[in-house]
Amino acid sequence: MKNEEISPKIQKAILALLKENAGSSLPRKQISHFLNIRKKEYPVFEDSLRDLVREGVVKKTNGNRYMSQQVSRFTGELRTARAGFGFVVVEDLEDDIFVSRSNMNTAFDRDTVEVQLYAKTRGKRQEGFITKVHERFRKQVVGTYRKTEYYNFVVPDSPKIYRDIVVPEDKKLNAKDGQKVLVRFDQWDSTQHNPEGHIVEVLGDADAPGVDIISVAYSYNLPVKFTDELEKEAKKASGKIQKKDLEGRLDLRDMVCFTIDPVDAKDFDDAVSLEKLENGNWKLGVHIADVSHYVTPGSPIDKEAYKRGTSVYLVDRVIPMLPEHLSNDLCSLKPKVDRMAFSCFMEIDNDLKTVSHQISPSIINSNKRYTYEEFQKDFDEQRKVPHLEIINEMFKLSKRLTQQRFVEGSIDFETPEVRFILDKKGQPVEVIPKKRLGAHRLVEEFMLMANKTVAEHILQISPKKAAPLPFIYRIHETPDPEKMNKFFNLLKALKVPFRPAKKISSKYFQTVLDTIKGKPEEVIIREVALRSMMKAIYSEKNIGHFGLSFKDYTHFTSPIRRYPDLVVHRLLKMYADDEMKNPKELLKDLKDMCRQTSKMERLAVEAERESIKLKQCEYINKHIGDQFFGIISGVTAYGIYVEIEETFIEGFVQMTRMSDDFYIYEEASYSMTGRNTGRRISLGDRVEIKVEGVNLEKREIDFVLMEDPDFEPFTPETIEEPKPKKRRRQRRR
């Protein structure tokens, strides 16, 4: 029997013996005697005992004596870094548990695992090792099929799947060497061997259109397709409106309303209307697709929507939450067609206060399907189109609402976005910055008003104000003080004027951001500020929304693509009909739903960013050797990050490639200075770079920094020697 097979058995026997003698310690020789360890097994016995001590389950006392020790074990989600180490996120623990690459056992990124803490850890963070994989996050993986003389295997596309998957000859599904395939895990019980699996689908050649994005989707365990059964189930729903369907609904088919969406949108889940009342107030209407009319709780489609949590918007496709028959047809607020909706009317006075509101199921008939660009053009050029007066009033109202929101403390986190023009092979041929129009802000403002009004409505109808009716809120916690200090240190380093505050409010935060408007480093500072904030999540507890500076906020406006919005619609109907079930049971269900949908939202955002990064790499890979101007977006002891202007593609300049001087890294000022020339390179500086190389698999881009033609070196007399205590030197290798 091999040593790796003997060791676990000996460890198990040692633990059993020491637990029988709990409270007392035993000498090493006595333990080996009790366990009948043979001479040739003794080295394995010593190693096993040493490993148990290292793992913290056995305590070593004076005189080579050993005793059992109580251990702490937790269950959580493993999150790995590209470098190989990871952290286990445990819901009830404040800090994550560090796990080194050698202690991963058979776990992969995002698996639900059992982690055992070491008795002693290095540094402040708790450290542990994975003892068991409870549930695999990924059931299947995209990779490249490789065939050799002796065995076949799949090399996973995701760097976080760090072991090749062996595929038996009879389970290769006629895949050819070099093809992209989808392989399903069968087993992986020991780190001594590679995992095994079988191919479930041959996706095609590696350069086939769309295969790269499918790989991203599968790497995040996103369901690319609906089953045939679910598609058939969705098509059972009829768009024919019966007389009974109109009971309890506002008939708004004669009301003027529009949908305003991106040019490539296929589902239209919100329409807007505006009417000037005789008393001088505005009556703003936000009309949302009534998905709850078609998707009933507990149905197969509802269960799948709950599992998905959200639609995912990748570069070349949308992975919808609902089957196409519902999302793009029956629920979509198409023009000139009767559609079931859920309307929120808000009466707004001249001081922009909502003096009254009405929330009710409705039926509407949209007058026009506008794109953002068309809507903006009608307003800018004052074209003679139907309902121009309403369009003008909408822009007038939305502009005032935006101004008021910022005055009251809402943070403007508008960050640049890009879109890709792809050729027939799915390769990016152009990267175009998305233009932010007034029409975008208009729709956003009206949706914010509706979401806020719905959340306030729940508090108003709750019998006990101190204990509101069970509901779903979109919350945003106050920033972490430690992250805020780092952000303020950045502002100091960049010499951005600001007044320190003991209590950080959203209004204070926005005031600070106003001081950098129009400056070259504005984009970088806003991105750092955004990363300094907590992530907005769904919760059954209403603690407010810091970023928006709203006490009450929810998501009501996108039930086609967000599951919480669908549930909000159901809750509104339930409370209107006074049909609430057991409050404790309902609250528990909402808590579970908030946790699930927040998790899936984070996953979708990461997948979307990964697909963008992939296309950025593919695009810039065609520009090896080309030069661009960019802004320094990060400064480290190993080099600098530069974000190219216009395309916002970020790459890295290694310190070892900065051959024009010996640079000294200054952490406190986010900068580095050339020892001989005095050239200073700081966060936010505009520089010129040359594209040196691209690693598509790792999504890494390498730049080379060009010399600054306007830089005049200091004379030796003006160059000060660096202060060793405050600066750390990075030598070129």
Instruction: Write the pLDDT tens digit of every residue in 702-724.
Output: 999 987 755 555 544 444 444 44
Per-residue pLDDT at 487 = 84
User: Which residues, 6+ apart, have CB-to-CB distance to 347 below 8 Å?
Assistant: 277, 281, 282, 283, 284, 354, 355, 356, 357
The mean predicted confidence, pLDDT, of the chain is 89
Q: Is the pLDDT of residue 201 over 70?
A: yes
Helix (H, G, I), strand (E, B) or coil at 343: strand
DSSP annotation of 416? -
Q: Is the pLDDT of residue 3 over 80?
A: no
- What residue type is 445 in one-letter code? E
The DSSP result for 620-653, as a single string, is HGGGTT-EEEEEEEEEETTEEEEEETTT--EEEE
Residues in the chain: 733
Rounded-to-integer distance, Cα 54 and Cα 495, Å: 49
Rounded-to-integer distance, Cα 313 and Cα 608, Å: 6
Per-residue pLDDT at 485 = 83
Block residue for tokens 């996706």: 203
Q: Is the pLDDT of residue 564 over 90?
A: yes
Q: How confident is the model over 619-673, as pLDDT tens digits?
A: 999 999 999 999 999 999 999 999 999 899 999 999 988 888 899 999 888 899 9
3-class secondary structure per residue, 205-230: CCCCCCHHHHHHHHHCCCCCCCCHHH
User: What band does 730 get if pLDDT is binned at 50, 70 and 90?
Assistant: very low
User: What band does 484 get if pLDDT is binned at 50, 70 and 90?
Assistant: confident
Helix (H, G, I), strand (E, B) or coil at 7: helix
Is the pLDDT higher at 720 or at 519? Answer: 519
Q: Are 592 and 300 in contact (CB under 8 A)?
A: no
User: Which residues, 6+ apart, have CB-to-CB distance to 171 below 8 Å?
Assistant: 197, 198, 199
Per-residue pLDDT at 53 = 84
Q: How confident is the model over 168-182, as pLDDT tens digits?
A: 999 999 999 999 999
Rounded-to-integer distance, Cα 537 and Cα 545, Å: 10
Q: Which long-range contacts (CB under 8 A, 24 or more apart) does 221-225 make?
A: 221/110, 221/137, 221/138, 221/139, 221/603, 222/312, 222/319, 222/603, 222/604, 222/607, 223/304, 223/307, 223/308, 223/319, 224/319
Q: How confident is the model over 578-600, as pLDDT tens digits?
A: 887 788 899 999 999 999 999 99
Per-residue pLDDT at 529 = 83
Radius of gyration of the chain (CA): 30
Lowest-confidence segment of 258-267, 477-486, 686-695 by average pLDDT: 477-486
Per-residue pLDDT at 647 = 93
Per-residue pLDDT at 119 = 63
Rounded-to-integer distance, Cα 645 and Cα 639, Å: 19
Over residues 66-82, mean pLDDT: 86
Q: How confident is the model over 419-458, as pLDDT tens digits?
A: 999 999 899 999 999 889 999 999 999 999 999 999 999 9
Q: Is the pLDDT of residue 563 over 50?
A: yes
Over residues 76-85, mean pLDDT: 89
Q: How confident is the model over 331-390, as pLDDT tens digits?
A: 999 999 999 999 999 999 999 999 999 999 999 999 999 999 999 999 999 999 999 999
**pTM (two decimals):** 0.85
Rounded-to-integer distance, Cα 167 and Cα 144, Å: 12
- Residue 529 has phi, psi (to 5 degrees) of -60, -40
Per-residue pLDDT at 52 = 85
Per-residue pLDDT at 415 = 79
What percent of the chain clears pLDDT 70, i.e. is strictly above it? 95
User: What band does 183 get if pLDDT is binned at 50, 70 and 90?
Assistant: very high
User: Which residues, 6+ apart, have CB-to-CB distance to 156 below 8 Å?
Assistant: 141, 142, 143, 163, 164, 165
- For the chain, the straight-line distance linking the first and the last C-alpha, in angstroms and rounded, comes to 47
Which two tokens mark 437? 């129009």
Domains of the chain listed by start with CATH number: 3-68 (1.10.10.10), 73-135 (2.40.50.140), 140-208 (2.40.50.700), 438-592 (no CATH), 624-729 (2.40.50.140)
Per-residue pLDDT at 143 = 92
Over residues 13-19, mean pLDDT: 87
Q: How confident is the model over 24-35, as pLDDT tens digits?
A: 889 998 999 899
Rounded-to-integer distance, Cα 668 and Cα 491, Å: 11
Is the pLDDT higher at 57 or at 649? Answer: 649
User: Which residues, 6+ apart, have CB-to-CB distance to 213 below 8 Å?
Assistant: 314, 315, 316, 317, 426, 611, 614
Q: Is the pLDDT of residue 461 over 50?
A: yes
Q: How confident is the model over 95-123, as pLDDT tens digits?
A: 899 999 889 999 999 999 999 887 666 56
Range among 92-101, 455-464, 483-492 with highest mean pLDDT value: 455-464
Per-residue pLDDT at 725 = 45
Is the pLDDT higher at 482 or at 708? Answer: 482
What percent of the chain clears pLDDT 90, i.e. is strictly above it? 61
% helix, strand, coil for the chain, step of 5: 30, 25, 40
